[in-house]
Structure 1
Amino acid sequence: MTIPGWPEVFRGTAALAAGLVTPDLLRGPRFRRLLPDTYAPADAHADLRLRSLAAYLWAGPDAVLCGYSAAEVLGASCAPRAAPAEVAVTAVRAGPRSRDGVVVRRDVLDPDEVTGVRGVRVTTRLRTAFDLARWSGPTEGVVAVDALSRGSFAPDVLLNLAARHTHARGVRRVVDALVWADPRAGSPPETRLRLVLVRGGLPRPVPQHPVLDDARRTALWLDLAYPDHRLGIEYDGGGHFATPEAARADAGRHTRLVAAGWRVLRYTALDMHRRPDEIVAEVGQVLDHSRRDAGQRAVEIDRSR
């Protein structure tokens, strides 16, 4: 006999009924209780995905994972740190209530706004983007739309849902998010860095821009780029230097970009948090220098004719 979620996350009563565990074993060191009657192996990392699956089982048969939980299960991770699990239920009065670590939402979901992922009901990528755009702040809403639309749908399609759910709370935020969204973004930090630049008054950079390496017959991809100025902007999450091999590969990549005539500026999450104005000033200064140099070259060419 099998039970939903076993052995990753499961209802204790179901596991007991199936003879998979005993009461003493369930209370012992091998398992941890995530929610009432909802357990996981003690050594399992209680990340958002695991906590979301636990919330799905705990909330009952009518539950649908939504918001950041749906994004996680759909493979479009974009949640801020310590985000709670989110689950939608159709019952207005009955059913579970929000509790520590779990947000229970009561909302209208049309049949075409729900899909299944390995036996778990979740809101579709489109509905999840719509919800997160209207529930989140002006930056994280764009981050969510970028992450969920990547390789899936054009962000403007969200206007159809906005028209369908005109009275939904926060629907105006969806329209605002579309002004800044770009499905080419490679990751949530790259979206946040792009927003620092464009909201600071700089031109829109090109996300995931390829720089051809003819000698190696490959391409070097820049997180953000101003191709006309041969300027790349990259998010440095620390993984570049995680191992000596990674550090050497990153140094070689940077050398090839410089050899191709590119200048690359790199910023961390701490930079974006503490000094966004300085980032805008630094990038703007490089762009201004590039424009002046281009203008000077144009004058020199004109004089030589």
Structure 2
Amino acid sequence: MNPGQPDRDRLDAYAADQRGLFTRTQALGCGYTNPRIRTKLQSGDWTAVVRDVFADRGLPVTPRLRDVAAQLALPGAVLAGPSAARWHGWDVPSAETFVALQARRPRLRHVHVVPQEVPETDACVVDGLRVTSPERTVFDCARLLPDGAASALLTTALQECWTTMPDLATRIRDATGRHGTPRLVRLIRVVALGNRTSAQKLAGKLLQRAGIWGWSPHEPISDRWGLIGLGDLVFPEAKLVIELGIDELEAPAPLRERHTRLAAAGWTVVTYSWSDLTTRPSDLVAELRQHLDRLTPVRW
């Protein structure tokens, strides 16, 4: 570096570690003066991604890059809501940047600050950035996204086991009295009702993660009089069929008739509701293991 000239190599080193970004403080530390920085911005050589965080000309300003810039501009901030979802690899219909930060900071254009502390149990590191945990991210997205997008995310999150109904219930209880909590309760009640397709996907995920195999979805089951129906999840060897999304006490007559035929044909039927799948998945898996141990023929 020539005497009196900015140290561009040092600034490039900062940018290389920060996905092409550097801060005003870093530029000043490399010998750039505020007037020189202003000239760089006016000429278009540098672009302000957020206040006091810059990039060289030509670097595309994407939502992910703005997320990085927000953390550089607000030390201690944790990417939250849709921003955290992006870094977890989830598809959310939002290009906005959200960070959680308890301390009062200057407002930044294009950055939404959620004024809350994120405990260590609710934070993790993804690709070098501090983001909220999957469970906290689901909860924040449900609060921040429009109803349709929030409901879709909640459904997917429960299917993919990113969170559980007990965790959501605890977070709602802790948020009682805050703005938006009644709306969140309503959304979760709707999602908690579930549907057969969602229940089948979630049940399949639970079985796979528990290492339980030998089952088939939508398996046709017949007796000597013909087709009885399609089992939601069927273990042919154990002659065990799982019915999902059903409350046995309210089962209509055709359903009871089908279960009677299944029992007469030697099948064991177990039924699980959406609530069972989302509030007690470990108990459900343990029960299924007991059924399979009892029903699966012993091979000698």
- TM-score calculated relative to the size of structure 1: 0.51
- Structure 2 partner of 1:235: none
- Structure 1 partner of 2:96: 84
- Structure 1 partner of 2:51: 36
Distance 1:168 1:204 in 2: 33
Instruction: Report 1:199-278 matches (<5 A).
Output: 204-206=196-198
Distance 2:138 2:175 in 1: 14
Residues 63, 206 of structure 1: alpha-carbon distance in 2 compared, 3 angstrom cutoff: closer
Distance 1:76 1:40 in 2: 26
Matched, 1:106 2:128: no
Matched, 1:131 2:146: no
Is the contact made by 2:79 and 2:131 (CA closer than 8 Å) also made in structure 1?
Answer: yes
Distance 2:200 2:71 in 1: 35
Q: Amino acid of the residue matched to residue 85 of structure 1?
A: T
- Percent identical across equivalent pairs? 26
Matched, 1:50 2:59: no
Q: Deviations over 1:43-62 (max 9, x none)?
A: 3332221111112211x222
Q: Secondary structure at the match of 1:152?
A: coil
Matched, 1:75 2:86: no
Distance 1:78 1:177 in 2: 17
Q: Secondary structure at the match of 1:141?
A: helix
Q: Deviations over 1:250-296 (max 9, x none)?
A: xxxxxxxxxxxxxxxxxxxxxxxxxxxxxxxxxxxxxxxxxxxxxxx
Q: Deviations over 1:80-123 (max 9, x none)?
A: 3xx421122111xx3122x4312122124333112222332221
Is the contact made by 2:21 and 2:53 (CA closer than 8 Å) also made in structure 1?
Answer: yes
Distance 1:43 1:148 in 2: 36
Is the contact made by 2:14 and 2:21 (CA closer than 8 Å) also made in structure 1?
Answer: no
Is the contact made by 2:79 and 2:132 (CA closer than 8 Å) also made in structure 1?
Answer: yes
- Structure 2 partner of 1:13: 25
Is the contact made by 1:96 and 1:104 (CA closer than 8 Å) also made in structure 2?
Answer: no
- Structure 2 partner of 1:122: 131
Distance 1:123 1:11 in 2: 24
Distance 1:27 1:71 in 2: 34
Per-residue deviation, 1:173: 3.1
Is the contact made by 2:77 and 2:100 (CA closer than 8 Å) also made in structure 1?
Answer: yes
Distance 1:101 1:65 in 2: 14
Is the contact made by 2:76 and 2:101 (CA closer than 8 Å) also made in structure 1?
Answer: yes
Q: CA RMSD in A?
A: 3.7
Matched, 1:171 2:181: yes
Residues 34, 207 of structure 1: alpha-carbon distance in 2 compared, 3 angstrom cutoff: farther
Residues 120, 7 of structure 1: alpha-carbon distance in 2 compared, 3 angstrom cutoff: closer
Per-residue deviation, 1:227: 5.9
Distance 1:7 1:176 in 2: 40
Distance 1:45 1:181 in 2: 37
Is the contact made by 1:156 and 1:178 (CA closer than 8 Å) also made in structure 2?
Answer: no
Q: Amino acid of the residue matched to residue 96 of structure 1?
A: P
Residues 180, 46 of structure 1: alpha-carbon distance in 2 compared, 3 angstrom cutoff: farther
Residues 42, 146 of structure 1: alpha-carbon distance in 2 compared, 3 angstrom cutoff: farther
Per-residue deviation, 1:130: 0.9
Residues 87, 179 of structure 1: alpha-carbon distance in 2 compared, 3 angstrom cutoff: same
Per-residue deviation, 1:148: 4.8
Q: Amino acid of the residue matched to residue 133 of structure 2?
A: T
Is the contact made by 2:78 and 2:118 (CA closer than 8 Å) also made in structure 1?
Answer: no
Q: Secondary structure at the match of 1:3?
A: helix
Unaligned runs of 5+ in 2: 1-9, 202-216, 220-300
Q: Secondary structure at the match of 2:14?
A: coil
